[in-house]
Chains A and B, each alone.
Chain A
Amino acid sequence: MTLMTDQTTDPTQTTETTGTGPAAVPRSRPIDVAERAEVAVEHAGVAVDIDHLDAFYGTHRVLRDITLAVRPNSVTAIIGPSGCGKSTLIRCLNRMHEVTPRARATGRVRLDGEDIYAQDVDPVVIRQRIGMVFQRPNPFPTMSIYDNAVAGLKLAGVRDRSLLDEVAERSLRRAALWDEVRDKLSAPGGALSGGQQQRLCIARAIAVEPEVILMDEPASALDPMSTLKIEELIDSLRASYTIVIVTHNMQQAARVSDRTAFLTVGEEDRAGYLVEEGPTPQIFTNPRRQLTEDYISGRFG
Chain B
Amino acid sequence: MTAATTLRIPGRNLRRRRATDRIMRVLLGLAAVVAVIPLLLVLLYVLLQGLPALNLALLTQSPVPAGFPGGGVAPAVVGTLIMVGLGTLIGTPVAVLAGIYIREYAGGRGATVIRFLVDVLAGIPTIAVGLFAYGLVVIPMGSFSALAGAIALAVIIIPIVARITDEMLGLVPGSVREAAYALGIPPWKTIVRVVLPGAATGIVTGILLGVARIAGETAPLIFTALGNQRVTTSLGEPMDALPLRIWVYATGPYDSWHTQAWAASLVLVFLVLAFSILTRLVLRRRGAGRA
Contacts and interface: CB of A to CB of B under 8 A. Distances in A.
Interface of A: 7, 31, 33, 94, 96, 99, 101, 124-129, 131-132, 134, 136, 138-142, 144, 151-152, 155-156, 188, 201, 204-205, 208
A9 to B, nearest CB: 8
Interface stretch (B21-29, B192-200, B227-235): B192-200
A128 B290 CA distance: 28
A136 B175 contact: yes
Interface of B: 107-108, 173, 175-176, 178-186, 189, 193-194, 197-198, 200, 290-291
Nearest to B193: A155
B193 A188 contact: no
A152 B179 CA distance: 10
A187 B45 CA distance: 47
B291 A131 contact: no
Contact of B178 (A124, A134, A156): A134
Contact of B108 (A31, A101, A132): A101
B183 A127 contact: yes
Interface of B is mostly: helix
B195 to A, nearest CB: 10
B291 A125 contact: no
Given A155-B193, A188-B291, A201 B185 contact: no
A201 B176 CA distance: 11
B141 to A, nearest CB: 41
Nearest to B177: A99
15 contacts: A101-B107, A127-B183, A136-B175, A139-B179, A140-B179, A140-B198, A142-B198, A151-B180, A151-B185, A152-B183, A155-B189, A188-B291, A205-B182, A205-B183, A208-B183
Contacts of B182: 94, 96, 127, 131-132, 134, 205
A132 B178 CA distance: 9
B283 to A, nearest CB: 13
Nearest to A128: B184
B288 to A, nearest CB: 11
Given A101-B108, A188-B291, A138 B184 contact: no
Given A140-B176, A155-B193, 6 more contacts: A138-B173, A138-B178, A155-B180, A188-B290, A201-B179, A205-B183
Contacts of B180: 140, 151, 155
A52 B1 CA distance: 72
B102 to A, nearest CB: 15
